[in-house]
Amino acid sequence: MGLSTDEIMRVSLDLVGWDDVPADSTVYVSGDDIETALVGIDLESPEIRLAHDLGYDLALAHHPTGMGARLDFPEVLDTQVEFMTAHGVPEDAAEEAVADLRSRMDHGGHSSNYRHDPSVAELLDQPYLNTHLAPDEYGRRVFREVADDLAGDATAGEFVDALATIPELEAAETDVRLRVGDRDNDLGDVAVHHAAGTNGGASVARAYFEHGVDTVLYIHVGAGDTAELREEFADAGKSLVVTGHIASDAVGMNAVVDALEERGVECDTISGCGIGRDD
Ligand SMILES: [Fe+2]
Ligand SMILES: [Fe+2]
């Protein structure tokens, strides 16, 4: 007897001990007795069709593609504010740092075709869900542990090297990059800014740097944000470490796959999921 889509969502939440399904995660087409799953970072219409044609009981994605998971996505950005205030950024400064991102995500969701991919799964009656924040939180804890295990006088370069030994990051074809700062910068106080919907761009990193954080970790960042931050903080001993998007998402999604296989759901991985995972 396989699992239901709700039980599979629950497996991903249990990884981090959460009760509630976050706003960026949803079951688009529900199903029961799931014994096989095609799992990927991005599963959209073509991959849903592929899952259906190949006979998988479930298409399981990381990134949200529609419905509430896109429309209500700005709700998970509250986490950005929580992470910043936990590092001493005053609440009003944290809110201001994330205001533009909140507006962009709200406009993006509102203008998106939130029906597109889910409607394909409905037409095929292909069970389909995405789980986003919980696996990212799992990955955040892995990165946090790496930071906490380093000595008090560690450098930014030593942090980069330690992160690169995480199996997913080691196996990936992307490197861990130091986008702002030098390898011999003091690591100092580290903010692991992952599992907050998306990266916080220049404004969130700036808020951290201006309130005593020395090193910020993002899993991805845009070129414009890097350029802004370099201009302002390159000579200030501040560092921005970027671990690599898909490898970093794989850290949490591989843990979901391991947990599902333990429950008897046979998983095949595509689209970046499975990087660095031994099976
Ligand atoms: Fe992610
Ligand atoms: Fe992602």
What confidence tens digit (pLDDT) does each residue in 184-227 have? 999 999 999 999 999 999 999 999 999 999 999 999 999 999 99
Same domain flag for 76 and 22? yes
CA-to-CA distance for 208 and 154, rounded, in angstroms?
Answer: 19
Q: How far is the CA of 201 from the centre of ligand 2 (A)?
A: 14
Q: How far is the CA of 1 from the centre of ligand 2 (A)?
A: 32
Same domain flag for 232 and 261? no
Same domain flag for 106 and 22? yes
Report the candidate in 277, 223, 216 with the shortest Cα–Cα distance to residue 246. 277
Q: How far is the CA of 174 from the centre of ligand 2 (A)?
A: 14
Starting from the CA of residue 245, give the closest ligand. 2
- Contact (Cβ atoms closer than 8 angstroms) between residue 135 and residue 249: yes
Same domain flag for 121 and 166? no
In a domain, 178, yes or no: yes
In a domain, 39, yes or no: yes
Same domain flag for 49 and 165? no
- The DSSP secondary-structure symbol of 2 reads -
Mean predicted confidence (pLDDT) in 235-261: 98
Starting from the CA of residue 253, give the closest ligand. 1
- Contact (Cβ atoms closer than 8 angstroms) between residue 79 and residue 87: no
Provide the number of structural domains found in the chain.
2
- Contact (Cβ atoms closer than 8 angstroms) between residue 226 and residue 103: no
Q: How far is the CA of 126 from the centre of ligand 2 (A)?
A: 23
Phi first, then psi: what are they for 3, rounded to 5°? -100, 160
Query: What is the pLDDT confidence band of residue 259, given thresholds at 50, 70 and 90?
Result: very high
- The DSSP secondary-structure symbol of 28 reads E
In a domain, 279, yes or no: no
For the segment 241-251, what is each residue's pLDDT rounded down to a tens digit? 999 999 999 99
Helix H segments across 112-196? 116-124, 133-149, 156-163, 167-171
Asked if pLDDT for residue 279 goes beyond 80, the answer is no
- The DSSP secondary-structure symbol of 30 reads -
Same domain flag for 256 and 128? yes
Mean predicted confidence (pLDDT) in 261-272: 98
The vertex-81 CA angle with 142 and 104, nearest 5°, equals 105
Cβ density class 265-276: b for 16+ within 10 Å, e for less: bebbbebbbbbe
- Contact (Cβ atoms closer than 8 angstroms) between residue 40 and residue 61: yes
Same domain flag for 109 and 236? no
Q: How far is the CA of 271 from the centre of ligand 2 (A)?
A: 12
Range of the domain at 205: 137-247
Query: What is the pLDDT confidence band of residue 234, given thresholds at 50, 70 and 90?
Result: confident
Q: How far is the CA of 78 from the centre of ligand 2 (A)?
A: 17
**Mean pLDDT for all residues in the chain:** 97
Same domain flag for 123 and 57? yes
pTM across the whole model: 0.97
- The DSSP secondary-structure symbol of 19 reads -
pLDDT at residue 219, rounded to an integer: 98
In a domain, 278, yes or no: no
Q: How far is the CA of 245 from the centre of ligand 2 (A)?
A: 6
Residues surrounding ion ligand 2 at CB below 5 Å: 249
Same domain flag for 23 and 118? yes
In a domain, 277, yes or no: no
Q: Give the CATH number for residue 207.
A: 3.40.1390.30
Residues facing 36 on adjacent strands: 266
Same domain flag for 235 and 155? yes
